[in-house]
């Protein structure tokens, strides 16, 4: 399953809710304001790094770049473009947007 | 209501639809308009599960009285879901616990699931729509 | 693969419609099809032809129209949500049409994937 999160972990609980429900081996894609969680020094970074042991974590590159965060991505987070986003949706049998 | 009549998209396909309600009522429109989608989906004879987690559990509170904010009280509609053959209502135990609620506080009978049970239910769906 | 797309927020205030558009355009570029985009909640506000953003900004409504014209994407605006928000046939941009929620359910039944973009 692909989980999509789009809100900053400092503003909403959606990242936390997602990580609670994501089963081992599933994928989490951070887009829009959620990408901040995948950057060095962010308060949510520890959650992402802990989750990366069981989940595949992705972040949308154009959203990182648009926020000046392209050079601060955590190790273990895979940066994808919109093509990669499409591939992730295609590769997983279902997806959930944590709005 | 005419739009609640049986509908058929002609394919004969039955998919597992999960409607994941994570938002409280009234503060935003998502709970109300989400419920409208659920009712229509039932008319297509799909396998519908309705799930309440996080602040979504507040949608099911007994004793809602929205007259004072001059907004329609749609909480009674949850009690009518059975009439639309929507019988799979699930609530997340952890979300209840985090809000000081128990099943007795809810307007309908629900199945309370643990996080792993909820996660597995979600993973087996064909379509998940979150409101 | 066929992708259905659900857009739940209006233009400009939220990034949802932008992300949905870029996803849809990219999916088509990669050889997938996007037979339909469904606009729900405040997402119905994407459909107005009356929006006139500044010249140097993207025109969100118009670029959905262009995608519809070039790739046959069916842009469906939920009737109940539209009526609540003052959207009717008189204000629709090219390529959009107003219809019922059944069109959303059909996307879930008939297409390979349904992807939601919202707030």
- How many percent of chain C have pLDDT more than 90? 100
The whole domain housing B55 covers 15-61+75-130
pLDDT of residue B3: 47
CB burial class (10 A; 0-12, 13-18, 19+) of residue C55?
Answer: exposed
Phi–psi pair at A79, nearest 5 degrees? -90, 125
Hey, which chains touch B, using 3+ CB pairs under 8 Å? A, C
Residue B45 sits in a domain of what CATH number?
3.40.1260.10
Structural domains of chain B, count: 1
pLDDT of residue B5: 54
Q: Give the CA-trace dihedral at A33, A37, A39, A41, to 10 degrees.
A: 130
Where are the alpha helices (H) located in chain C, listed in sequence order?
16-29, 60-71, 79-84, 102-110
Low-confidence ranges of chain B (pLDDT < 70): 1-6
Residues of A in contact with C32 (CB under 8 A): 86, 90
**B83 inside domain:** yes
The whole domain housing C7 covers 2-117
Residues of A in contact with C33 (CB under 8 A): none
Q: How far is B129 from chain C (nearest CA, A)?
A: 7
- The Cα C48–Cα A88 span in angstroms is 32
Per-residue pLDDT band for C69 (boundaries 50, 70, 90) equals: very high
pLDDT of residue B7: 73
Specify the DSSP element, H or E, that contains A85: helix A82-91
**B2 inside domain:** no
Cα–Cα distances in angstroms (integers) from residue C56 to residues A17, A62, B37, B128, C59, in the given order: 38, 20, 37, 37, 9
Instruction: Give per-residue pLDDT as tens, A60-97.
Output: 999 999 999 999 999 999 999 999 999 999 999 999 99
Q: Give the CA-trace dihedral at C116, C89, C96, A81, to 10 degrees.
A: -40
Q: How far is B22 from chain C (nearest CA, A)?
A: 12
Where are the alpha helices (H) located in chain B, listed in sequence order?
30-43, 77-80, 93-97, 115-123
Structural domains of chain C, count: 1
- The Cα A27–Cα A57 span in angstroms is 6
Catalytic residue IDs of C: 78
What is the chain B residue with the closest CA to A98? B130
Q: Which of residues 80-119 of B touch A (CB under 8 A)?
A: 94, 115, 118-119
pLDDT of residue A84: 98
Question: Is B33 close to C100, i.e. CB distance below 8 A?
Answer: no
Specify the DSSP element, H or E, that contains A9: none
Instruction: Give per-residue pLDDT as tens, C75-114.
Output: 999 999 999 999 999 999 999 999 999 999 999 999 999 9
pLDDT of residue B6: 62
Please report the ipTM that was assigned to this predicted complex: 0.97
Closest alpha carbon to B50 in B11, B79, B12, B14: B79
User: Mind listing the domains of chain A with CATH numbers?
Assistant: 2-98 (3.40.1260.10)
- Picking from C13, C26, C58, C109 by the largest number of A CB atoms within 10 A of its own CB, the best residue to mutate is C26
Residues of A in contact with C22 (CB under 8 A): 62, 82
pLDDT of residue A43: 97
Residue C99 sits in a domain of what CATH number?
3.40.1260.10
Residues of A in contact with B20 (CB under 8 A): 96
**B126 inside domain:** yes
**B4 inside domain:** no
Closest by Cβ to B9, choosing from C40, C110, C118:
C110
Name the average pLDDT for chain A: 97
- The Cα C117–Cα C119 span in angstroms is 7
Name the average pLDDT for chain C: 98
């Amino acid at each position: 399953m692909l989980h999509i999160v789009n809100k900053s972990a400092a503003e909403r609980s959606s990242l936390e809710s997602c990580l609670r429900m994501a089963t081992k081996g599933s994928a989490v894609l951070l887009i829009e304001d959620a990408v901040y969680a995948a950057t060095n020094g962010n308060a949510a970074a520890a959650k992402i790094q802990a989750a990366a042991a069981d989940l595949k974590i992705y972040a949308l590159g154009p959203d990182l770049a648009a926020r000046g965060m392209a050079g601060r991505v955590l190790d273990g987070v895979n940066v994808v473009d919109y093509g990669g986003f499409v591939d992730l949706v295609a590769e997983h049998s279902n997806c959930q947007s944590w709005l | 209501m005419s739009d609640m009549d049986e509908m058929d998209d002609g394919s004969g396909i039955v998919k597992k639809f999960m409607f994941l309600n994570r938002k409280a009522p009234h503060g935003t429109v998502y709970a109300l308009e989400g419920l409208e989608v659920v009712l229509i989906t039932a008319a297509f004879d799909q396998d519908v599960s309705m799930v309440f987690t996080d602040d979504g559990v507040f949608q099911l509170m007994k004793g809602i009285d929205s007259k004072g904010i001059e907004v329609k009280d749609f909480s009674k509609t949850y009690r009518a879901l059975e009439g639309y053959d929507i019988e799979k209502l699930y609530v997340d135990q952890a979300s209840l616990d985090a809000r000081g609620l128990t099943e007795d506080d809810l307007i309908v009978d629900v199945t309370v699931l643990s996080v792993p049970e909820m996660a597995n239910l979600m993973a087996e769906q064909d379509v998940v729509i979150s409101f | 693969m066929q992708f259905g797309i659900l857009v739940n927020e209006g233009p400009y205030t939220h990034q949802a419609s932008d992300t949905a558009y870029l996803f849809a355009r990219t999916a088509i570029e990669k050889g997938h099809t996007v037979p339909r985009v469904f606009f729900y909640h405040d997402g119905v506000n994407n459909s107005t032809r009356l929006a006139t953003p500044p010249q140097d900004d993207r025109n969100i409504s118009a670029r959905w129209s262009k995608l519809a014209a070039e790739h046959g994407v069916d842009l469906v605006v939920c009737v109940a949500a539209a009526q609540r928000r003052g959207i009717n046939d008189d204000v629709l941009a090219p390529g959009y049409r107003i219809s019922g929620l059944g069109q959303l359910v059909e996307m879930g039944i008939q297409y390979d994937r349904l992807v939601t973009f919202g707030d």
